[in-house]
Homo-oligomer: A and B are copies of this chain.
Amino acid sequence: MILFKKVAIIGIGLIGGSIAKALKQKKLCNQVTGIVHHKETIQKAIAQNVIDLGTTDLTVVKDADLVVIATPVETTIDIAFKIKNYILDKTLVMDVGSTKLEIVKAFDRAFRKNIEFIGCHPLAGSEKKGVDFSDGGIFNNSIAVLTPYKNRINAYNFNKIKNLWQSLGAEIKLLTPALHDKIIAKTSALPHLLSFSLLNTLPKNYFKFVSSGFRDTTRIGASDPQMWNDILISNKREVVFALEDWQKEINKLKKLIQSKNQSHLKKYISSAKAKRESI
């Protein structure tokens, strides 16, 4: 099912590359153009059958009916302002960033009224980075959160975006940008903060004693610093709230360990276990 004629994807990394591959594999559009920062990515992405055409020139967005911005959050905002004058009327813009409120507000400022846009956040990916890890199947059985804002997308286009994500294998969840950021601060930022801080609190000579539990718990600690810097800074308010809630939780747990009230501690662990098993 052809949903779009020409799709331009800005940023052919793990997520941008995976969307490109999936669009081509599932024949959801006629042509995928990759707009990249480093020239060398073009040849690689074409050779790996990720994109049809590649360029470093942002002005080619004028030929697209769908523009996908798949760069770190702060770059996404910069790019919106850089491309706003090239985009033709009726073009649809979407992004895939992990923070939504700051992005959709910037899009609202950047794009004139007859350019439509929608913020999307596919809950897929890994700590890996770059086109080499792109995979058209990563959205299978994942969740795609859509965060429409201020009537900046009409029902017809909204439906096409829904179709796109569903065709990629994702289940759709609708959230306001603000609620998205609140939830993601807890479900995604916290596990990352916890991994970063656990890795940084461990003395160097202790690393040879880690086992699979430590390894799994800190897998996402190897995530991209620029990407995570942007996510944390652009969602600072909710991230700090989530961190403070979690600090209270840790204090509660510390008191349970110190209190020798083993039945309360066991209950606390049992509650965590039940929650983990419910996922």
Contacts and interface: CB of A to CB of B under 8 A. Distances in A.
A145 to B, nearest CB: 7
Given A222-B276, A276-B218, A271 B200 contact: yes
Contact of A214 (B187, B222, B224, B233): B187
A209 interface: yes
- Per DSSP, chain A at the interface is helix
Nearest to A185: B206
A217 interface: yes
Size category of the A interface is 35 or more
Copies in the complex: 2
Contacts of A186: 201-203, 206
Interface string A215-254: 1111111111110110011001001101111110111011
Given A209-B143, A266-B229, A278-B207, A190 B198 contact: yes
A271 B28 CA distance: 41
B266 A222 contact: no
A59 interface: no
A258 B246 contact: no
A206 B183 contact: yes
